[in-house]
Structure 1
């Protein structure tokens, strides 16, 4: 038998499978130890575990850990067994965010999920997450977004991870096409594009408004910049890379493109009307 426990990752033995009723809704199984811990938290799981997904079970366990940390003297019992819970770890926090997003990840994504604690910075928060395939490399893993970036990671069989990263300020647009059983997520940047096949056809919707949510999330940080131009440069760094102030005179296409981006910065409140007018005049003088 080569099936592993969906929670602890240990190989399942015949004795684990003899428990019965230890199968999850997404097809994973719990070992006898994890099954006992689960029903100690919610006795109803002994009869209807197959109606719950992996993320829902981990959410229940995380809630129990949080409750126990708020009541250090408290313990939980199941028969003669006694369980003690530690304070939630960074990985626990991340798994709690996954539960809050109603993400439907299979047990095959467990290795990548566990790696998130090493990949994400302390202040990064998940805004969307899905399981899928990078169509360029044909590697299977998880794709997720925070307020700063979108990443695809695949945990290698012999250790290490493969990453494909897109910073939010480098993304020009995000498109997704839903098919009958899956969806295609396309991330367009100013330097090219990448496509990902998502196993759940509805998962692409969560990524479609990432840019707006990320801009709102970082709004206070942007306002703390020491000058309006720094806010302008941090939000649209590709403008700085292209050196908008040295655009060849008469290059109308590039100038109109920069004018459009300036307009978006004014609409979001990052540039004032006066700042917008000043930058606009510099660009129009080159026509």
Structure 2
């Protein structure tokens, strides 16, 4: 079965102890992925009344049921997941996902795979957000007050506004200040 799959899906499927009852979902998984999304881990499980697969990608958790009469999927982007929980029994366990005020329980997840998946999701959602670049403040008050310089400063200020570096309110305030110099 893995020879017809995308390499990342085939690699994740090869690590499953059993694909019993999930081969159809694994084959159809590519239809449910976002552009350039990479599958990192798969597990079988049960969500609601459907048996399907729980997929961990580089961007989200996805639960997919693809039956004869239709397909159902629910995704949990990492940016929306506040926490995940793992509880296990002898052979199987439950992955509980808390996302955007909702709680989802995926049951009958293989014990070892479920624990690894939850640990990986925790590591992903606990990473600090990348720093947001902020431009240094623009100070035009130290420039000479000649008429030609004022128009040049207005032009540059307009470019900064158009680029989103300064707000419209900041632009209007500085524009009024510069025009008052004329």
Match of 2:88 in 1: 178
How far apart, in 2, do the equivalents of 1:123 and 1:193 lie? 28
Q: Please report how far the alpha carbon of residue 144 of structure 1 lies from its aligned counterpart in structure 2 after TM superposition.
A: 0.7
Match of 1:129 in 2: 42
How far apart, in 1, do the equivalents of 2:126 and 2:28 lie? 26
Provide the secondary structure at the position in 2 that maps to 1:127. Answer: strand
How far apart, in 2, do the equivalents of 1:155 and 1:146 lie? 18
8 Å contact from structure 1 (residues 174, 207) kept in 2? no
Q: 1:105 to 1:123 in 2, by over 3 A?
A: farther
Where is the helix percentage greater, Structure 1 or Structure 2? 1
Q: Please report how far the alpha carbon of residue 128 of structure 1 lies from its aligned counterpart in structure 2 after TM superposition.
A: 2.0
TM-score, scaled to structure 2? 0.63
1:203 maps to 2:117: no
The 5 Å alignment of 1:4-15 reads: 7=1
TM-score, scaled to structure 1? 0.42
Structure number with greater CO (CA < 8 Å, separation at least 6) is 2
8 Å contact from structure 2 (residues 94, 109) kept in 1? no
Please provide the CA RMSD for this pair.
2.9
Match of 2:53 in 1: 142
Which protein is bigger by CA-based radius of gyration?
A: 2
Provide the secondary structure at the position in 1 that maps to 2:79. Answer: helix
How far apart, in 1, do the equivalents of 2:12 and 2:41 lie? 8
Match of 1:118 in 2: 31
- Please, which runs of 5 or more residues in structure 2 have no aligned partner? 134-182
What per-residue deviation string (whole Å, max 9, x for no partner) do you get for residues 85-106 of structure 1? Answer: xxxx6x3324333156x22232
How far apart, in 1, do the equivalents of 2:24 and 2:36 lie? 22
Q: Please report how far the alpha carbon of residue 214 of structure 1 lies from its aligned counterpart in structure 2 after TM superposition.
A: 7.1
How far apart, in 2, do the equivalents of 1:123 and 1:115 lie? 16
Provide the secondary structure at the position in 2 that maps to 1:202. Answer: helix
8 Å contact from structure 2 (residues 9, 39) kept in 1? no
Match of 1:83 in 2: none
How far apart, in 2, do the equivalents of 1:118 and 1:199 lie? 23
How far apart, in 2, do the equivalents of 1:189 and 1:92 lie? 29
Match of 2:12 in 1: 98
The 5 Å alignment of 1:1-287 reads: 7=1, 58=2, 62=3, 91-99=5-13, 102-134=15-47, 137-158=48-69, 160-208=70-118, 209-213=120-124, 264-265=128-129, 270=131
- Please, which runs of 5 or more residues in structure 1 have no aligned partner? 1-6, 8-57, 63-88, 217-263, 273-287
